[in-house]
Amino acid sequence: MTIYDEAMQMKEELVACRRDLHAHPELAWTEFRTASHVAKSLKALGYEVLMGDACMKADEMMGVPDKAELSRAMGWAIKEGADPELVKKMEGGKTGVVGIMHFAKPGKTVGLRFDMDCLLVEENPTDAHRPTRDGFASTHPGLMHACGHDGHTAIGLGVARLIAAHKDEMAGTVKLCFQPGEEGVMGARGMVASGIVDDVDYFLSGHIGLGNGENNSLVCMTEGFLATSKIDAFFTGKPAHAGANPQNGRNALLAAAQASLALHTISRHSDGPSRINVGILKAGTGRNVIPDNAVIKFETRGGSTAINEFMEGEARRMIKAAADMYGVTVKMVARGSAASGNSSPDMGEEVYEVVKGLGVYSDIEKNHTVSGSEDCSYFMSRVQDHGGKAVYMLYGTEEASGHHTSEFDFNEDVLPLSVYTVTELVKHFTNK
């Protein structure tokens, strides 16, 4: 039986895994149930499993919930079947998991990345939506796998199984990185900072859909991921009665509003794309009280890390100036970030030739320019900076609706096909 045959025979199992994960979505740093399942599966397949501090650097983790929220999520995950001993290893939100397998034959080290987290999206409750109609919609109100990460995790576990089954055909070492917190670009930085991919020669990752909406298709490499910073700015002023003694107040709302307007005046950069957006402004307690608190939540983006650093630096300068103007203080907290990222062209060419030789795709695109940001760029740039090569692929599939919407769903035929493809690529690159 060929690897292709085995992958196709896994479809029912892959679909069941994806649907179970879909029904139990978990936000960034709270993927305790998902990570527990991943760790148990990898260990059963013979992988060395790293968790907690072994693959996560705490001081590089961004946007981690407070202890109370983490404790609540840990308890909920255990009630839903997570292994309590494994959950304990993930204290502090360290929900990343890495599976490592060394093969008998010498060869290259290949790294893979699969994301696990969900979104703050309320899933469509009507029967027009297949997950609802077929009984695997989210059981967690307000949370949903609306970006395909349930599929990514299922693909990762399928690849892990096929690699283990065909370890005599592999060489070198494979590292499977299951990453928390891609949404909000929070999770990769902490994993990468652990050094887990510093020795990787070839790195592979990918995403279901993202503009590649044809079944039985594949994009072999992508370029154009924007560097980004996600920041919350908290303004603190002084309350006062707006009628009796307004002169005693320090208006945090006006400072936040001034900052919001000023941010959108930042000059765009001539070296490439640059973006700024204030998405949230909240302030005050009542119409007759000078607001003593306000928060703005904003992001910067750039076509390169340097451009984004320029945008972020200008944003911080203007926010501080707005606070000074109104006599209030401001604290800025980084909530997420990603580097700019492009696939290694020569590795992408190799992926294209290997995939073409598989003879299973009706459409193969060599390169595709993407928009937006993806913190897998941290993995890619880290590998590239250490002399390795990296590609980010797109697994083509029809989608019921756009990513991050309540109607999102995808054609599950993409699962076994992606498992087969990635396994063959691991085989190819470990044996180089």
Residue 218 DSSP SS3: strand
Q: Which of 106, 93, 141 is nearest to 121 (CA)?
A: 141
CA–CA gap between residue 413 and residue 389 (Å, rounded): 29
Phi, psi of 361 (to 5 degrees): -105, 140
Strand extents, DSSP E, 170-328: 173-179, 202-208, 217-219, 222-225, 227-236, 274-283, 293-302
Contacts of 71 (CB under 8 A, 6+ apart): none
Residue 371's pLDDT is what? 81
CA–CA gap between residue 227 and residue 300 (Å, rounded): 8
Residue 210's pLDDT is what? 80
Q: What is the pTM of this model?
A: 0.95
CA–CA gap between residue 404 and residue 120 (Å, rounded): 9
Strand partners, 101: 174
The domains located in the chain, with CATH, are 3-226+340-430 (3.40.630.10), 243-337 (3.30.70.360)
CA–CA gap between residue 345 and residue 351 (Å, rounded): 10
Residue 212's pLDDT is what? 66
CB burial readout 369-387, b (16+ within 10 A) else e: ebeebbbbbbbbbbbbeee
C-alpha distances in Å from residue 127, one per residue of 134, 283, 303, 418: 8, 39, 41, 28
C-alpha distances in Å from residue 280, one per residue of 232, 299, 300: 9, 10, 14
Q: What angle do CA 167, 108, 388 make, to 5 degrees?
A: 140
CA–CA gap between residue 125 and residue 132 (Å, rounded): 6
Q: Residue 432 is encoded by which pair of tokens?
A: 């180089």
Residue 244 DSSP SS3: coil
Contacts of 138 (CB under 8 A, 6+ apart): 22, 23, 24, 25, 118, 123, 131, 144, 145
Q: How many residues does the chain have?
A: 432
Please answer whether residues 256 and 235 qualify as being in contact, where contact means their C-beta atoms are separated by less than 8 angstroms: yes
For the chain, list residues with pLDDT below 70: 212
Contacts of 91 (CB under 8 A, 6+ apart): 52, 70, 74
Tell me whether strands 227-236 and 293-302 are parallel, antiparallel or unpaired: antiparallel
Residue 213's pLDDT is what? 79
Strand partners, 295: 234, 282
Q: Residue 71 is encoded by which pair of tokens?
A: 């404790």
Q: Which of 155, 197, 173, 211 is nearest to 376 (CA)?
A: 197
**pLDDT tens for residues 171-225?**
999 999 999 999 999 999 999 999 999 999 999 999 999 876 799 999 999 999 9
Strand partners, 239: none
Identity (one letter) of the amino acid at 11? Answer: K
CB burial readout 258-284, b (16+ within 10 A) else e: bbbebbeebeebeeebbbbebeebebb
Q: Residue 66 is encoded by which pair of tokens?
A: 């407070």
Token match 């096909």: residue?
417
Contacts of 388 (CB under 8 A, 6+ apart): 197, 200, 201, 202, 203
Q: Which of 297, 298, 290 is nearest to 253 (CA)?
A: 290
Please answer whether residues 396 and 414 qualify as being in contact, where contact means their C-beta atoms are separated by less than 8 angstroms: yes
